Structure formats: C-alpha cells, structure tokens
Copies of this chain bind each other. A is one copy, B any other.
C-alpha cells in the first residue's frame, strides 16, 4: 500500500532533504518551481501530508497558523527550537519535560495525552543581520 513514488513526490522529498529548516508548503512549492521542477501546489500539499502520516516529516504551526514542514534527522519523538525569522531549527530532547508532561496530565485524570512543546526565538544570524 506504499504510495507510488512519482517524479513529483521525489522532488518534494529532495527539496526537503536539501533544506535543513522548517518550510511552508508554499515555500517548498516556490523552491521547486524556481529550480525548474514543475509540481502543482496541491501535489506538494498531498506529498507533505503523506510524508507526515508516515512520520517522515515533522509538522508544526507557525505563530500565524501556517504549517511548517521539516525532514528531521531523527525519527523518534523530539521537539524543536525554531528561528521565527528564517526557520533555522535545532532538534532538542527533553526527557525531563516528557515525564513532567505525562505526570501532570495523568494526575488530572486525563487520557490520550499529547503535548505540544516548541521553542521560538531569533537565531544568531538573524539577530546580526537585522540590527547589529
């Protein structure tokens, strides 16, 4: 049942692999278009959706609500520190946070617990280029 690997999907995966940072579907679409790869926007969305379901990419919501995608180095559960200006990303572990989160939720009688933990900031490069 694996999805068919088409030229378009390969292009999306390749673009993700070259880009180390979180990018929106539209940014990826633009990137592909710029390099001559012709891929429809709807197809980019579908590819990202499939990859997300297969845990091949991580998805997070920017502060403005836009979804950002990234092909992370590790497949295991982890979180991110993301530059809100350029998307630069650092993967972070939080064993402490993990146990804290599940403990707190269980103590309140909640089930099916999930957590959203993301850190946002301005990376050193963006700080330097925006002010000095």
Contact = CB atoms under 8 A, between A and B. Distances in A.
A122 interface: yes
A19 interface: no
Interface residues of A, number: 31
Interface of A: 61, 65, 81, 83, 90, 92, 94, 96-97, 100-101, 104-105, 108-124, 127
A111 B115 contact: no
Contacts of A104: 81, 92, 94, 119
A121 B112 contact: yes
A92 B104 CA distance: 8
A127 to B, nearest CB: 5
B119 A118 contact: no
A119 B115 contact: yes
B122 A111 contact: yes
